[in-house]
Homo-oligomer: A and B are copies of this chain.
Amino acid sequence: MYKNFTQTKAFSGLRRCAQRPYDLTRKGALFEDDRLQKFVCRSPLVNLHYGTQRIDHHVLQGLSDMSRELELVEQFKALRRGAVANRIEGVESENRQVLHTACRDLFSALPCHPEATASAAGQLDKLASFLEKLDSGVIVNHRQQRFTSLVHIGIGGSDLGPRAVYEGLKCYGKEGRTVRFIANVDPDDAVAVLSQVDLSTTLVNIVSKSGTTLETLTNEEIVRAALKKAGLNPADHCIAVTGEGSRMDNSGDYLETFHMYEYIGGRYSTCSMVGAASLGFFLGMEQLKQFLEGAALLDEMAEEERLEQNIPLLMALIGVWNHNFLGCRSLAVLPYSQAMHRFPAHLQQCDMESNGKSLQRNGQPVASTTGPIVWGEPGTNGQHAFYQLLHQGTEIVPVEFIGFRRSQSGLDQTVENTTSQEKLLANLFAQMVALAAGKESDNPNRVFPGNRPSSLLLAQRLTPKTMGALLALYEAKIIFQGFVWNINSFDQEGVQLGKALATRFIAEISKRESDPDSLENYFLKQL
């Protein structure tokens, strides 16, 4: 039923274009046809500047034709309306809908999937009422004190997205409230976090869709033991976010339980209760809703048919251009904002777990390489670290820059006639030009080959709404790329073997004896 991009009519034309991609190093190349002005997609929350990519109007037309042939926007629309998009034909697969977008489809009179949105709204109402009881002092600790701190326990999708958003919005928190995260089964992770909090005024939010995640259950046990040791009743401190009917869905053990649903994958779950519960505690309902609204606006944009008006689709197709036509196998996401320091780690998960696949949705091997290696650190820090390779290395790494016109705090200082925020952005723009244009030199060690493509997502300020928009933008981008490669971006069978083997190893350790000829034995002897 679905095609991959190599089966489209547009493919061969794009391949021809890729033999001589636009040369950004040619004198005047960045100014030609006002490309920097024209290759911009504007939207109320964020603009995409892509004039420093190795594309021209032919390539854009080819990508647009490919998009239409593959019905990318139609597929996205169908997904939001409840299509069983998590599926591989002809083999056993999860066969689920993909409805994370429903969690934020709260701002339109006609939500795309009314039932899923109603469930999400119901959970949000439950959260609002719970938070109201915290605010008004109806829910307090056994000494009648307010809860000021929250420990969020989850891993993977139940950790990286919520943590990236929390870090990004740390300066928007309600007075006196903090959130800390425990994810790793490494006991030192829990020890370090527990040493930082006063448990008596701490809520513990345990997040596991299945209710069976090894790390999360183990850390829950550790924190419950610490609560008991401190003379506290865990059921007065713990809340849960889990699937309906999971073994964690047990009201006796928790002060409150929130639900997430099977049709929301972990790495896409930040806007569900997985992120919303802890973020709501920290930001309050009003700002949480702004965050969701920003995400909803980008979901709307992703339904725009015209490529040049659809930022996630543009980024997806430019990504495919760089990856499959120009041969760049990794992608750096470089936010010029210290608050965004965990956003690349979230994207690393969302992208690599979604699209690090080798099987098409029709059960056949993929026709090309798929998901890139995604990595990144904030600028300007990275400039003093790995940018050497970006400029002069033998690998060409496309870059997605993220920038904000204004700082979050607004506090700044003018040193030598410019503010730090101005210096930050000047550096960002300088990097885009340097990567694209390069520089000649008589000294071969000072030659910059240039033609290293980048884009810039530029927003006004990192607010809850902008953060929601960036989150949803990348989710949609990743989903569009999955459609292009014709893979199922919503399962993760690739993590099962390691999990199964770990279970076997743990069972061996727990027996304290192991088959002398086994792999386990070899490794356990190292302990």
Contact = CB atoms under 8 A, between A and B. Distances in A.
Identical subunits present? 2
A187 B519 CA distance: 52
A1 interface: no
A218 B420 contact: yes
A390 B470 CA distance: 26
Contact of A391 (B215, B394, B497): B497
Contacts of A520: 429
A363 B380 CA distance: 30
A337 interface: yes
A357 B393 contact: yes
Given A385-B345, A385-B353, A439-B497, A491 B445 contact: yes
Interface string A407-448: 111011101111111111111011111100011000111101
A155 B384 contact: yes
A443 to B, nearest CB: 5
A37 B522 contact: yes
A62 interface: no
Interface string A491-504: 11111111101101
Contacts of A160: 381, 385
Contact of A373 (B267, B375, B429): B375
B427 A191 contact: no
A230 interface: no
A189 interface: yes
Given A338-B189, A385-B353, A429-B505, A366 B380 contact: no
Interface in A383-414: 383-395, 397, 405, 407-409, 411-413
B352 A386 contact: yes
B338 A495 contact: no
A91 B445 contact: yes
Nearest to A394: B369
Chain A interface size, as a band, is: 35 or more
Contacts of A217: 415
Contacts of A439: 497
Given A387-B495, A509-B422, A222 B352 contact: no
A434 B445 CA distance: 42
A417 B408 CA distance: 48
Residue among A37, A411, A420, A523 having the largest count of chain B Cβ atoms under 10 Å: A420
Contact of A348 (B37, B377, B420, B527): B377
A413 B496 CA distance: 26
Contacts of A502: 423, 426-427, 430-431
A358 interface: yes
Interface string A125-148: 000000000000000000000000
Contacts of A31: 517, 519
Contact of A497 (B192, B339, B429, B434): B434
Contacts of A336: 186
B392 A184 contact: no
B385 A349 contact: yes
A78 interface: no
A93 interface: yes
The 8 lowest CB-CB distance pairs between A and B, nearest first, are A356-B389, A156-B384, A356-B393, A349-B385, A392-B494, A430-B501, A426-B505, A429-B523
13 contacts: A160-B381, A185-B423, A186-B424, A187-B420, A218-B415, A349-B385, A356-B395, A365-B444, A368-B394, A418-B506, A426-B505, A429-B520, A438-B497
Interface of A: 30-31, 36-37, 47, 49, 88, 91-93, 155-157, 159-160, 170-171, 183-192, 213-215, 217-219, 221-222, 225, 266-267, 329-330, 336-339, 345, 348-349, 352-359, 363, 365-366, 368-375, 377-381, 383-395, 397, 405, 407-409, 411-413, 415-427, 429-434, 438-439, 443-446, 448-449, 458, 488, 491-499, 501-502, 504-506, 509-510, 517, 519-520, 522-524, 526-527
Given A171-B188, A218-B420, A352-B386, 12 more contacts: A91-B445, A159-B384, A184-B381, A188-B409, A266-B384, A352-B388, A358-B392, A370-B394, A383-B499, A392-B494, A426-B505, A434-B497
